[in-house]
C-alpha cells in the first residue's frame, strides 16, 4: 500500500448558513452537516443556538472578519416571542439566545443573512416547546363564549365575550396554564367559580380533565351590559394555581315577565329577590308624588325594549288614579296623589305581566283646613268626599248626648291642630248655645242637650 503525505484541505466558497440547536453537533463534510436531534425546550426558558457560515459541504468559513456577513437575522414560528437582535458572524460563527413562549410541537427556527453578500438560509428541524412547569407561575385562565385561547400571547386569548341573558345557561372554560397562557395538560385540580355579580349562584365545583374544566351550566342573574360581570376561577383542591378572571361579560335582561313599582325612597336592585331596596318616603295627603314603573324579567332586570300599556291602582279608596301610560324603553313615571291618612300601596298592572307593588307608603294629613262635627250615628271616614259615614241617630229632648269636633285637613284627615272652637245649634231653646271648647290634639268630645223636639228636618250644629 502507498500512503501519501497529509493533504491540506481548505474550506470552499461561503455558500449558506447552518443553524445548530441544543442536541445537535456540527459534522463538516457530511450529507446534512450535523448529527443529533434538537432537544425539547420549555416556554419562557432561554436557550442558545449556534449559527455558522459554511460552504456547500458544511465546512465552517473562517475568512477574515471583513469578509463575513454583516449580520444574521433570526425568524421563528413563535408569534409572541421577541427575536434576538442581529449580530455579525465573527470568525464565521455566532451564538444567539432564544426564548420561545408558545408551547407547541412544531416549532422551528430559520436563520438568514442581512445585507450583502447574501447566503442561503437554514431552518432547524421541528422541535417541541412544553408549557413551563414552574409552580410559582401556574395560574388559571377563564374563557367566556366568544373568546378563544391564544397561547403565548400577552392576554392568552382572542375575541370578545358574547352578550349573555339573565337566567339563561352558558358555557365557561377554565384552563390550567403557565405564565405564558400555555395549557398544562399534565396538571389536575378542582375548580370553583365566583363573580362580582352579588346574586351569582355558582355551579358545583368541577375537576379538570387534561388541565381543563368546562362548566356547562353557568347562569348570571343581574343585568349589566356595560362594563359587564367578571367571573373568577379558583382551585379548591389539587394543583394550586393563581386565580384567573374572565373578561367582563355583558348580561342583558331576560324574558319580559313582571312589573316593578318604585315609590320615592325605593331604589331598583336588578337581580335581587325583591328587585329593590329602601323604604317608601312618607307622603302628604293631597300632595302629588312620582312613582316609577319598570318592565322587568323574572329577576327584576329592566327590559328596555318593553312598550306595554300600564295602569295604576292603589288601596286608597278615595284617590283618583292617574291615566294609563305606555312604557318608554321599559319605564315610565306616574304622578300619584293619595288622600287618605293611612298606609297605602301603589300597584301597577299590564296585560300578560305579573303586577308590581310599592312598599307600604305612610300618608300623613295635610295642613289643618276646617272643622268636622260628628253626632251619634256618624263615624269619621278620612279621605272620603264627606269625611264621614252614617246617619244622625234620633235624640230625645232633655237627654244629654255627646258630639265630637275634629280639626281636619281638606280631605277630612285628622290633624293635631288644637284651636278653640265655638259650638252652636239651631235649637233656639237649648241651654248650651253657644259654647267655646278647646280642642286637644285635634279633637274634643262635648256633651249637648236639645230642648225642643224636631224630628224633621232636625236640628243642626255649627262649629
* 8 A C-beta contact, residue 408 and residue 372: yes
- Could you report the per-residue pLDDT of 285-304, keeping only the tens digit for each? 999 999 999 999 999 999 99
Q: Kindly state the percentage of the chain with pLDDT values over 70.
A: 99
Instruction: Tell me the pLDDT band of 232, cut-offs 50, 70 and 90.
Output: very high
* 8 A C-beta contact, residue 127 and residue 21: yes
Average confidence (pLDDT) over 304-325? 97
Average confidence (pLDDT) over 385-389? 97
SS3 412: coil
Q: What spatial distance separates the first Cα and last Cα of the chain, rounded to whole Å?
A: 154
Residue 38 φ then ψ, to 5°: -60, 130
* 8 A C-beta contact, residue 302 and residue 225: no
SS3 404: strand
CA 34, chain centre distance (Å):
59
What integer best gives the mean pLDDT of the chain? Answer: 95
Residue 399: predicted pLDDT: 95
DSSP codes joined into one string, 283-330: EETT--EEEEEEEE-TT--B-TT---EEEEEES-TTS-PPPPEE-BTT
| pTM as predicted | 0.82
Q: Which of 79, 140, 69 is nearest to 107 (CA)?
A: 79
- Could you report the per-residue pLDDT of 335-354, keeping only the tens digit for each? 999 999 999 999 999 999 99
SS3 97: strand
Dihedral angle over CA of 52, 53, 59, 61, nearest 10: -120
**Strand ranges of the sheet holding 325-326, from the earlier edge strand across to the other edge:** 325-326, 309-314, 346-349, 356-357
Residue 337 grid coordinates: 296623589
* 8 A C-beta contact, residue 174 and residue 203: no
SS3 47: strand
Q: Which of 214, 212, 297 is nearest to 255 (CA)?
A: 297
Average confidence (pLDDT) over 32-58? 96
Residue 157: predicted pLDDT: 97
Residues in the chain, total: 463
Residue 171 to residues 203, 213, 217, 459, Cα–Cα distance (Å)? 11, 10, 6, 83
| Burial readout 246-265 (b: 16 or more C-beta within 10 A, e: otherwise) | bbbbbbbbbebbbbbbbbeb
Q: How many helices (H) and strands (E) does the chain have?
A: 0, 43
Say which DSSP state 418 is in.
-
Alpha carbons 63 and 59: distance in angstroms, whole number: 12
- Could you report the per-residue pLDDT of 111-152, keeping only the tens digit for each? 999 877 889 999 999 999 999 988 888 999 999 999 999 999
Q: Kindly state the percentage of the chain with pLDDT values over 90.
A: 89
Amino acid at each position: 500500500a502507498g500512503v501519501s503525505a497529509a493533504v491540506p484541505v481548505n474550506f470552499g466558497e461561503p455558500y449558506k448558513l447552518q443553524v445548530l440547536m441544543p442536541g445537535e453537533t456540527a459534522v463538516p463534510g457530511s450529507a446534512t452537516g450535523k448529527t443529533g436531534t434538537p432537544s425539547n425546550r420549555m416556554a419562557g426558558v432561554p436557550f442558545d443556538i449556534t449559527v455558522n457560515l459554511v460552504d456547500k459541504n458544511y465546512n465552517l468559513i473562517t475568512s477574515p472578519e471583513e469578509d463575513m456577513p454583516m449580520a444574521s437575522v433570526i425568524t421563528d414560528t413563535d408569534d409572541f416571542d421577541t427575536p434576538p437582535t442581529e449580530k455579525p458572524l465573527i470568525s464565521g460563527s455566532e451564538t444567539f439566545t432564544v426564548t420561545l413562549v408558545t408551547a407547541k410541537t412544531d416549532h422551528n427556527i430559520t436563520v438568514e443573512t442581512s445585507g450583502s453578500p447574501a447566503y442561503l438560509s437554514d431552518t432547524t428541524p421541528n422541535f417541541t416547546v412544553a408549557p413551563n412547569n414552574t409552580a410559582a407561575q401556574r395560574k388559571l385562565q377563564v374563557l367566556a363564549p366568544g373568546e378563544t385561547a391564544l397561547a403565548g400571547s400577552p392576554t392568552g386569548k382572542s375575541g370578545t365575550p358574547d352578550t349573555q341573558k339573565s337566567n339563561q345557561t352558558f358555557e365557561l372554560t377554565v384552563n390550567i396554564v403557565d405564565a405564558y397562557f400555555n395549557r398544562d395538560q399534565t396538571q389536575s385540580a378542582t375548580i370553583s367559580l365566583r363573580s362580582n355579580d352579588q346574586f351569582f349562584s355558582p355551579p358545583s365545583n368541577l375537576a379538570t380533565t387534561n388541565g381543563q374544566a368546562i362548566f356547562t351550566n353557568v347562569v348570571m342573574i343581574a343585568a349589566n351590559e356595560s362594563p359587564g360581570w367578571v367571573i373568577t376561577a379558583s382551585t379548591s383542591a389539587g394543583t394550586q394555581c393563581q386565580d384567573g378572571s374572565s373578561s367582563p361579560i355583558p348580561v342583558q335582561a331576560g324574558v319580559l315577565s313582571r312589573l316593578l313599582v318604585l315609590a320615592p325612597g325605593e331604589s331598583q336592585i336588578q337581580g335581587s329577590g325583591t328587585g329593590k331596596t329602601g323604604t317608601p318616603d312618607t307622603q302628604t295627603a293631597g300632595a302629588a308624588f312620582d312613582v316609577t314603573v319598570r318592565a322587568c324579567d323574572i329577576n327584576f332586570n329592566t327590559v328596555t325594549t318593553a312598550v306595554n300599556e300600564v295602569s295604576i291602582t292603589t288601596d286608597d279608596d278615595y284617590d283618583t288614579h292617574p291615566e294609563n301610560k305606555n312604557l318608554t324603553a321599559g319605564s315610565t313615571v306616574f304622578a300619584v296623589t293619595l288622600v287618605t291618612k293611612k298606609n297605602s300601596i301603589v300597584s301597577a298592572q299590564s296585560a300578560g305581566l305579573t303586577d308590581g307593588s310599592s312598599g307600604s307608603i305612610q300618608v300623613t294629613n295635610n295642613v289643618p283646613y276646617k272643622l268636622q262635627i260628628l253626632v251619634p250615628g256618624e263615624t269619621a271616614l278620612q279621605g272620603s268626599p264627606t269625611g264621614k259615614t252614617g246617619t244622625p241617630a234620633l235624640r230625645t229632648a232633655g237627654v244629654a248626648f255627646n258630639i265630637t269636633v275634629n280639626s281636619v285637613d281638606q280631605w277630612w284627615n285628622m290633624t293635631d291642630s288644637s284651636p278653640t272652637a265655638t259650638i252652636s245649634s239651631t235649637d233656639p231653646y237649648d241651654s248650651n248655645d253657644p259654647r267655646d271648647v278647646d280642642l286637644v290634639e285635634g279633637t274634643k268630645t262635648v256633651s249637648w242637650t236639645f230642648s225642643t223636639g224636631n224630628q224633621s228636618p232636625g236640628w243642626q250644629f255649627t262649629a
